Amino acid sequence: MIEYIDNSEIRRKLSLIKKVAVIGSGTMGHGIAQVFAAAQCQVKIYDLREDLLLKAERMIIQNLEMMKKESYINSGEQKETLAMLSYSTDLFEAVHEADLIIEAIPEVLEFKHQLFQLLETMIRSTAIIASNTSTFPISKLAEACTFSERLLITHFFNPAHLVKLVEVVKHEDTLPWAAEEVINLLKAAGKKVVMLNKDIPGFIANRLQAAVVREAFYLLEEGIANADDIDQVMSEGPGMRWALNGPLRIADMGGLDIWEKVTGNLFPELDCSTEAPRFIVESVKQGNLGAKTGRGIYEYSGTGDGASDIRDKQLIHLLKM
Ligand SMILES: NC(=O)c1ccc[n+]([C@@H]2O[C@H](COP(=O)([O-])OP(=O)(O)OC[C@H]3O[C@@H](n4cnc5c(N)ncnc54)[C@H](O)[C@@H]3O)[C@@H](O)[C@H]2O)c1
């Protein structure tokens, strides 16, 4: 973990990043834009169509309204954040003055490469470019761009306006000032930043999550317990501890002699499949994508907005603790 002096106000004033462009206003993009707007950057959000931008604006308004209702921000902060945001379907207009450009478009390498090639002709020669990719190593992203010395991964978590963690990955060419600027800004925005020492697919968090999810679907498919019980085992047990201490510290606290037995005895028993779980593949084929389509592992009313409202309220309560 990078540690800087904790004086976000001074850091913010000294930061070179005043203007931010967010490309892609979907699940992640709108929340990322909100984070930078709340940190007093002028933020332009770009998407392919006007209706997508209107949806993003609506979601940011709802996010801020809930944060105010739950007394996490005041109405001054709500207004100031909204005033820092603007929306555009013109890519050049969105990016040409930006100090930092964050892409949050779909996880398709070809799309990201095409976008980088377009950006090359439009952005300032000192602009920093960050990708919110969940899985691609930065070496893959850099293959199709001429700005690898200003390229980073900033991996936010859904919902980006509430989850504190951002994983940062540098390319071997990334200049130290570019990483430092972005990390300082993220910290001033209240984020917890972890920078990886090496480039690896899935970074840290998604590798840890994927290991747990693989086993969770194995237990479900084998009928060991129903979905609700499997989820409860996690949230009432390990999840509760993991909110406060990571798996390595917990291993230390339990005793490494015990964990030698637990891992040695259990590793040979664990699922080690190398493909997406059958349950997920079948659900996707049937168009059951989870909360957003009303059905996944559970059933939801409408488009699942109620479920994300509850999740966001619970996260705000956790943050206030
Ligand atoms: N959803 C998550 O939980 C999550 C978490 C962390 C990281 N990510 C990563 O963030 C990125 C975005 O994911 P998302 O879930 O927000 O996707 P999304 O589908 O919700 O949003 C993507 C947005 O990008 C727009 N878009 C598509 N092609 C574009 C282009 N060429 N130029 C500009 N905009 C374009 C789409 O119109 C859409 O609004 C992906 O790389 C994903 O892996 C997602």
Q: Mapped to the 3 state alphabet, what secondary structure does the chain carry?
A: CCCCCCCHHHHHHHCCCCEEEEECCCCCHHHHHHHHHHCCCEEEEECCCHHHHHHHHHHHHHHHHHHHHCCCCCHHHHHHHHHCEEEECCHHHHHCCCCEEEECCCCCHHHHHHHHHHHHCCCCCCCEEEECCCCCCHHHHHCCCCCHHHEEEEECCCCCCCCCEEEEEECCCCCHHHHHHHHHHHHHCCCEEEECCCCCCCCCHHHHHHHHHHHHHHHHHCCCCCHHHHHHHHHHCHHHHHCCCCHHHHHHHHCHHHHHHHHHHHHHHCCCCCCCCHHHHHHHHCCCCEHHHCECCCECCCCCHHHHHHHHHHHHHHHHC
Region 176-181: mean pLDDT is 95
The per-residue pLDDT for 10 is 53
Whether the CB of 202 sits within 6 Å of ligand 1: no
Summarize the annotated binding site for NAD(+) as residue ranges: 24-29, 47, 107, 112, 134, 158, 292
Query: Residue 268 has what pLDDT?
Result: 98
Q: Does domain 204-320 match CATH 1.10.1040.10?
A: yes
* pLDDT at residue 8 is higher than 80: no
133-153 average pLDDT score: 94
204-320: same fold as 7-195? no
**pLDDT tens string 184-208:** 999 999 999 999 999 999 999 999 9
Q: What is the mean pLDDT of residues 270-274?
A: 97
Weakest mean pLDDT among 116-130, 222-236, 279-293, 298-312? 298-312
The fraction of the chain above a pLDDT of 70, given in percent, is 95
Q: What is the CATH number of domain 7-195?
A: 3.40.50.720
State the pLDDT at residue 196. Answer: 96
Residue 8 falls in the annotated catalytic set: no
User: Binding site: which residues?
Assistant: 24-29, 47, 107, 112, 134, 158, 292
Cβ(133) – ligand 1 distance below 6 Å: yes
Domain residue ranges of the chain, discontinuous segments joined by +: 7-195, 204-320
Nearest CA to ligand 1 atom 30: 105
30, 155, 161, 171: the active-site residue: 155
Residue 264 has pLDDT above 80, yes or no: yes
Residues 226-244 pLDDT 10s: 999 999 999 999 999 998 9
pTM of the model: 0.91
